[in-house]
């Protein structure tokens, strides 16, 4: 059955391929590809709402964007989230996954996790299953600025005055980052645990037999061996740092406040679209966001590319 020959078998094969691809491709093109292409077009127009009348304005949306203080505030916030959130999440998750998989010392000549490991893995992962919106509403109560807020009442036991976690402009974004870490750690504990499980136990056991202590075991053996998984985790968390939409929208004061202190680009895009109906300007902001995300991904791939350890 050579290619291009119209034997009955070839016709059947082509018919099969076409029938299997038609529906998925049609839905994907109509509802995903075309909106994204139209967004690139809208970004060059003064389109407002669903009205079909609009003019092309060239790069005017982008010049306005670069003079927009809120846009730059949002970009700075992504920068801070990107610097802090992935690093803290990965550090905590690595620490816990090490304890849960290899921290229990040797039993019958085999390295194992600390007592209760599987219980901790189940509990730590749970926030990941909750919708970000639910997490946001949960933390509204936890971070309530009054002394009856749960975090503030715990601090009260130690004689610390109530803190306005979300109402202080200098603190609010850090609080949001804290909640992102809270939700994310469990996922990376499980992910890194899978990475550690993939490394032959003999490597760890040989090192332990040679007298390596836990610090050496962690930094010299475990970390290099799961480095690939850590990298992948970093890319995922980095991309998450350019989102944060649902959490900021639900949890922060005045949706991105106080006074734009926590706003992020997705939130501004949403606001421009559904509050002001500036579809053209919102799409230009979307283009800027894609540019930032792709730049981050490309830089990460360049910087972190490293020899893979074969085992």
Partner 1 sequence: MKTRKQSAGLLGGVSHVMLVLWTILTVTPILYTFLNSFKTNTEIFGDSPLALPQQWGWGAWGRAWETSRIGEYLVNTVIVVAFSTFFTMLLGSMAAYVLSRYDFRGNRLIYTLFVAGLSIPPFLALSALYKVVDNVGLLGTHTGVVLVYVAYSMPFTVFFLAAFFKTLPTTVAEAAMMDGCGHARTFFQIMLPMAKPGLISITIFNVIGQWNQYLLPIALLPGDKQDKWLITQGIANISTSAGYEADWAGLFAALSMAIIPILIVYVIFQRQIQTGLTAGVGK
The interface with partner 1 within residues 3-42 (CB under 8 A) comprises: 12-14, 16-17, 19-21, 23-25, 27-28, 30-36, 38-39, 42
62, 207, 290, 300: which one binds partner 1 (CB under 8 A): 290
Per-residue x/- marks for partner 1, 51-90, CB under 8 A?
----------------------------------------
190, 196, 226, 261: which one binds partner 1 (CB under 8 A): 190
71, 165, 187, 204: which one binds partner 1 (CB under 8 A): 187
**CB-wise, 113 or 172, nearer to partner 1?**
113
> 154 by DSSP, 3-state: which?
helix
Q: Hey, what are 158's tokens?
A: 């130690």
Dihedral of the alpha carbons of 21, 23, 25, 27, in degrees to the nearest 10: -170
Task: Please state, in angstroms and rounded to a whole number, the distance separating the CA atoms of residues 89 and 185.
Answer: 5
> Does 191 help bind partner 1 (rule: CB under 8 A)?
yes
**CB-wise, 83 or 141, nearer to partner 1?**
141
For residue 42, which of 285, 311, 297, 291 has the smallest C-alpha distance? 285
59, 83, 87, 130: which one binds partner 1 (CB under 8 A): 130
For residue 173, which of 257, 281, 274, 64 has the smallest C-alpha distance? 257
Helix residue spans in the chain (DSSP H): 8-28, 34-42, 60-66, 69-102, 117-129, 132-142, 150-157, 169-197, 201-209, 214-216, 223-225, 227-241, 245-251, 265-274, 279-304
> Does 296 help bind partner 1 (rule: CB under 8 A)?
no
107-126 residues in contact with partner 1 (CB under 8 A) are 114-116, 120-126
97, 175, 249, 262: which one binds partner 1 (CB under 8 A): 249
């Amino acid at each position: 059955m050579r290619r291009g020959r119209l034997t009955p078998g070839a016709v059947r094969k082509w018919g099969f391929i076409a029938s299997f691809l038609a529906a998925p491709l049609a839905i994907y093109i109509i509802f995903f590809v075309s909106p994204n292409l139209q967004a690139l077009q809208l970004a060059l127009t003064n389109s407002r709402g669903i009205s079909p009348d609009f003019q092309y304005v060239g790069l005017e949306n982008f010049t306005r964007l670069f003079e927009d203080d809120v846009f730059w505030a949002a970009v700075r916030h992504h920068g801070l989230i990107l610097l802090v959130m992935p690093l803290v999440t990965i550090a905590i998750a690595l620490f816990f996954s090490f304890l849960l998989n290899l921290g229990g010392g040797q039993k019958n000549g085999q390295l194992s996790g600390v007592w209760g490991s599987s219980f901790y893995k189940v509990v730590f992962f749970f926030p990941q299953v909750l919708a970000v919106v639910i997490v946001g509403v949960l933390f509204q109560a936890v971070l309530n600025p009054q002394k009856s807020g749960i975090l503030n009442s715990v601090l009260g036991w130690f004689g610390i005055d109530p803190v306005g976690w979300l109402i202080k402009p200098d603190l609010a974004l850090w609080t949001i980052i804290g909640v992102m870490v809270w939700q994310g750690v469990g996922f990376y504990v499980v992910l890194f645990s899978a990475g550690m499980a993939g490394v032959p136990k003999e490597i760890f056991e040989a090192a332990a037999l040679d007298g390596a202590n836990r610090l050496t075991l962690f930094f010299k053996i475990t970390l290099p061996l799961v480095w690939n998984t850590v990298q992948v985790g970093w890319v995922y968390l980095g991309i998450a740092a350019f989102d944060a939409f649902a959490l900021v929208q639900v949890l922060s004061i005045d949706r991105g406040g106080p006074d734009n202190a926590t706003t992020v680009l997705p939130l501004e895009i949403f606001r421009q679209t559904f509050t002001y109906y500036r579809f053209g300007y919102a799409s230009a902001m979307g283009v800027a966001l894609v540019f930032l995300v792709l730049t981050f991904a490309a830089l990460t791939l360049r910087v972190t590319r490293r020899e893979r350890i074969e085992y």
